Amino acid sequence: MKKIKQTIGIVFLVMIMIVAVEMVSASVPSGGTLATGNNSTASSSVSSGSSNAAGGYVTEINITGNNQQTANWQGFWGNVSAGTIYLNDSSGNSMYNWATVVTNGGFVYATTKSTAPSWSSVTAISAATLDGGSYWNFGSKSDNISNTYTSTRDITIASYTVSGAINTTVNTYFNNSAVSDGSSASRAGVIWVGEINNDKTNFKSTSSDYELLVPVVAGDSYKFYIEIS
Amino acid sequence: MLMMTLKRGLLVLFLLYFITGNAIAATDQVIVNSADWQDVYSGALYAGLEGIPAKFLVTSDQAPFLITTLERSRRNILLVESSANPFAFGYKSSLEAARFNVEEIKDTGNSRNIDLAKRTQTKKFIVLDDAYGYNAISVAPYAIKNNYFVLLANNLNTDEIYSFLRSNQVAELIIYGNLDNALKQKLTEFNPDVINKGNRFDNNLEMVKRFGPAQQIIFTNGEFIESEIMSGKEPVIFVGKENVPDQVIEYIKTNDIKTGVVIGNDLVGSSHLIKEATNVTIFLKFGQGFANTGSSEVKALDMFPIPVYETNVNVKSIQYNRETRSLEVTYENNGKIGTYLRSSIELFSAGTRIATVGDIDPVLVNRENSLTISYNKDINEQDLISKITIVFGEFPRSLDRVFHIEMPVGQISIKDNSDFSISGATYEVDPHKLKIGLKNTGEVPAYGKTQVTFIVYGEEKILTQDKAMHLDPGASGVAEFITTLSETNIEENPRVKIHLNYGERESTLSKVIEENPELKIKYASYNTLILILFILIVIGAVYYTRKNKNKNKGN
């Protein structure tokens, strides 16, 4: 009887130990596998060749340390004019015919939220807030949001006008802004807004209708929206 | 003593590690590695019910890349994988190499659906026919919001589904859309709530109403799975690929819907129609991008296609018949399912529109078949050009496709002196035959093609002859349809609806008769009765002969 009690006691302790080990393991983030690829940002120190981001899957980039400025930002670009739109995907389906989508001066939106934003609740949000701990936590870095989105403007989204939305101009032609959809005080509650300016030269010296600069944390994925006119 | 205790402890530790493994940890996310839409749907549904994210492969190329997009903090993965048809082999190993803990569910089609149902522990279920994949999309938001698991039924897993429900103390059951009659009958013991308004759009609007008030909704066409659709956050309203049914526009106008999000790059045209008709603000979710620094083009969304029956109509010919003063249009249905269509035809002469004709109500063209419709119109001009717009779809209230064509109008001068009558409708129980009697009451040989509409357990069923029947003047004929009607179905059909297209030319059956004759029932055929009588006589004769023999022996 005594031996049985001892065994039960040991089993109980062992179970607690296993759970504890699992909890500790879960809290330690493990790194992913980075594949060396091509860089399409001019200021990066990556030694690889020219970018092929346009033609295939997103290429992961191994930044070799010198220039940290691009580590926090990613630029997305594309076309949304009426006509044939090319969007590469995993199945190889890349062509859609948009008879009419949006006119010049409309917006492309990007958010990390996995479901659609609450479009009717959009409000302004300050760059300082977005640099804070609940959001991108860029703090006082030289390439933080406050140093990138340095102006403000009024924009109208889904018939709601947001006064004083933070703003920046990318590559001369493309105005970018950011607003909150009020759903959560986190990255998922932020909508990045790229103003459409048809057929302008982008950073790759090709023609696109928008360029949108968004902050990134490893593993982020953005969903893109456009308002139908 | 202490050493013994320690040894025992180590042994227990060793055993426990292998027995419990990673099962102690709850699942953090679901990954689906399968080319079967039902696995993707079931996996995404399960994740939605558990409130955890789900991702799915759409090609093998995507497999390595998907791992890089997974949230590292969600280490415990439930991998739903097809043993027969995965996109990537050895995916469990790949995930484990990336330091995720992986529990694998690997089985054949429907059992995986039920396996996941068991894991959810819910007692609320929706049952639908897996032949109508769009129904699964329609119910998904409601199911996730209200904790229902969706069971995908077909004629091979009827018993499995029934047994599962039987052993699960079903609290609530919904039957959605068309379902096999045998299974429907079995499920009556669970007192199901049946939703079947006759077409996918009306069924879908019923689910939207049940979802509850929503100012923001998702528009899609039910032909693919996408993560937002499976989130349960907003209801899904179906729009057609090229056209939006009237009842959908009406619903949007009369319910306080402020914003819609369209998912599906092919639905831009429909989105525009909705916006013009309702003034709702519409956003198109069109792409995705991944954080890798540098820059990249926006990619298309990950969408898993659901098998659909393609509808496919065309105009075979259009000609003006000067003898009958009518425009004869022959429509072709090249698809695998019967299709309803309604057309509007503008006629031009020398660039000027001179007439418009068309259909008020949708007409059915059987699969891989054609139908000629005659539109009466007095036209004297020659060299006519027609501009034809056809809306078409699976059901009369789901005309979600559009076809445009411009064609020159031929000129003919042919009189049609044919005349037919419908003599009656009979159902012969024994051979399971529905028979429609026809007679050529005209003075010329003619052709007739019959369509009969009746009710089976509350749902309308339509049967059409593939080929027209030829009858000489004065001759009678019978159009036969093989179908099984139970006693309940017989009671549902005191009358049946007959639609007869006929004419002198087999290619142009432009005349129509519609009647609702009483359905007469024959419980045994005359031949069967004769056979039974004959057998009885033989048995009687044999018995009588033996009886006499025995009597003589006794004597």
pLDDT in tens, A100-152: 555 667 899 999 998 999 998 999 999 999 999 999 999 998 888 999 999 99
Per-residue confidence (pLDDT) for residue B121, from 0 to 100: 85
- State which residue of chain A sits closest to B61, comparing Cα positions: A90
pLDDT > 70: percent of chain B: 93
Where do the structural domains in chain A lie, given as residue ranges?
71-226
Confidence of residue B9 (pLDDT cuts 50, 70, 90): low
- Average pLDDT (A197-217) is 85
* Strand duo B511-515 + B459-464: pairing: unpaired
Hey, of B296, B302, B303, B404, which one would you mutate to test binding to chain A, going by the most A CBs within 10 A of its CB?
B296
Provide the phi-psi class of B132: left if phi over 0, else alpha when psi is between -120 and 50, else beta: beta
Measure the CA–CA gap between A135 and A180, rounded to whole angstroms.
Answer: 11
Q: What pLDDT does residue B193 have?
A: 96
Residue B103 predicted with pLDDT over 90: yes
Q: Is residue B293 part of a domain?
A: no
Q: Measured between CB atoms, does B19 come within 8 Å of chain A?
A: no
Q: Do the chains contact at A114 and B53, CB–CB below 8 Å?
A: yes
Q: B469 forms bridges with which residues in the sheet?
A: B448
Q: Do A61 and B293 touch (CB under 8 A)?
A: yes
Better pLDDT: B263 or B386: B386
> Which of A86-90, B1-5, B53-57, B186-190 has the lowest average pLDDT?
A86-90
Contact B181, B484 (CB under 8 A): no
- Burial of B156 per CB tally in 10 Å (0-12, 13-18, 19+): exposed
> Taking CA A90 as the corner, what is the angle to CA A88 and CA A94, rounded to the nearest 5 degrees?
30
Confidence of residue B484 (pLDDT cuts 50, 70, 90): confident
Predicted confidence at residue A201, as pLDDT, reads: 87
Write the CATH number for B375.
Answer: 2.60.40.10
Whole-number average pLDDT of chain A: 70
User: What's the confidence (pLDDT) of residue B293?
Assistant: 47
> Quick one: B439 and B519 in the same domain?
yes
User: Which token pair is B321?
Assistant: 């018949």
Q: Select the more confidently predicted residue: B195 or B535.
A: B195
Distance CA A177, CA A229 (A): 20
Closest partner CB to B290 (pick from A54, A58, A75):
A58
Top pLDDT among A58 and B506 is at B506
- Out of B59, B73, B291, name the one closest to residue A29 (CB): B73
| Residue pLDDT, tens place only, B123-172 | 999 999 998 999 999 999 999 999 999 999 988 899 999 999 999 889 99
Range of the domain at B387: 313-404
Q: Is the minimum CB–CB distance between B266 and chain A shorter than 8 Å?
A: yes
Tens of pLDDT, residues A163-202: 999 999 988 899 999 999 998 899 999 999 999 998 888 8
Residues B98, A33: C-beta atoms closer than 8 Å: yes
Q: What confidence score (pLDDT) does residue B523 get?
A: 85
The reply to whether B459 falls in a domain is yes
Identify the domain boundary among B369, B404, B439. Answer: B404
A107: nearest CA in chain B? B283
Q: Which of B373, B415, B378, B365 is nearest to B512 (CA)?
A: B373
The one-letter amino acid code at A48 reads S
The reply to whether B429 and B515 lie within a common domain is: yes
Rounded Cα distance between B45 and A167, Å, is: 39
Q: Quote the pLDDT of residue B360.
A: 93
Residues of chain B contacting residue A222, judged by C-beta atoms under 8 Å apart: 288-291
Where residue B512 falls among pLDDT bands split at 50, 70, 90?
very high
Would you say residue A82 has pLDDT above 60?
no
Whether B450 and B398 share a structural domain = no
Q: To the nearest whole angstrom, how far is the Cα of B282 from the nearest Cα of chain A?
A: 6
Res. B206 pLDDT band, cuts 50 70 90: very high
How many Å apart are CA B104 and CA B33, to the nearest integer? 10
Asked whether residue B531 is domain-assigned, the answer is: no
Contact A32 B67 (CB under 8 A): yes
Q: What are phi and psi of B265, to 5 degrees?
A: -65, -20
Q: Which of B37, B121, B28 is closest to B78 using CA atoms?
A: B28
Residue A66 to residue A71: CA distance in whole angstroms: 11
User: Residue B525 has what pLDDT?
Assistant: 58
> Residue A7's pLDDT band (boundaries 50, 70, 90)?
low
> Across B275-279, B380-384, B471-475, which has the greatest mean pLDDT?
B471-475
Q: Looking at residue A114, what is its pLDDT?
A: 87
The answer to whether B53 faces chain A, any CB pair under 8 Å, is: yes
Per-residue pLDDT, A39: 27
Name the closest residue on chain B to residue A77, using Cα atoms.
B297
All residues of chain B having their beta carbon less than 8 Å from the beta carbon of residue A81 are: none
Most confident of B61-65, B277-281, B284-288, B407-411: B407-411
Q: How far apart are CA B127 and CA B117, in angstroms?
A: 12
ipTM score: 0.75
What pLDDT is stored for residue B295 in this prediction? 59
In terms of C-beta density within 10 A (0-12 exposed, 13-18 middle, 19 or more buried), how is residue B23 classed? exposed
* Cα–Cα separations (whole angstroms), residue B316 to B319, B344, B360, B373, B406: 10, 16, 21, 12, 12
Q: Does B13 touch chain A (CB under 8 A)?
A: yes
Is B413 a domain residue? Answer: no
How many structural domains compose chain B?
Answer: 2
* Residue range B301-314, pLDDT digits in tens: 889 999 887 788 99
Predicted confidence band of residue A50 (pLDDT cuts 50, 70, 90): very low
- Sorting pLDDT into bands at 50, 70 and 90, what band is B528? low
In a domain, B167, yes or no: no
In a domain, B269, yes or no: no
Query: Where does the pLDDT of residue B423 fall: very low under 50, low under 70, confident under 90, or very high at 90 and above?
Result: very high
**B296 at the A interface (CB within 8 A)?**
yes
In tens, the pLDDT along B75-94 reads: 999 999 998 889 999 999 99
Residues of chain A with C-beta less than 8 angstroms from the C-beta of B288: 221-224
3-state secondary structure of B487: helix
**pLDDT band at A8, cuts 50/70/90?**
low
Would you call B269 and A99 a contact, using CB atoms and an 8 Å cutoff? yes
Query: What tokens were used for B438?
Result: 């026809």
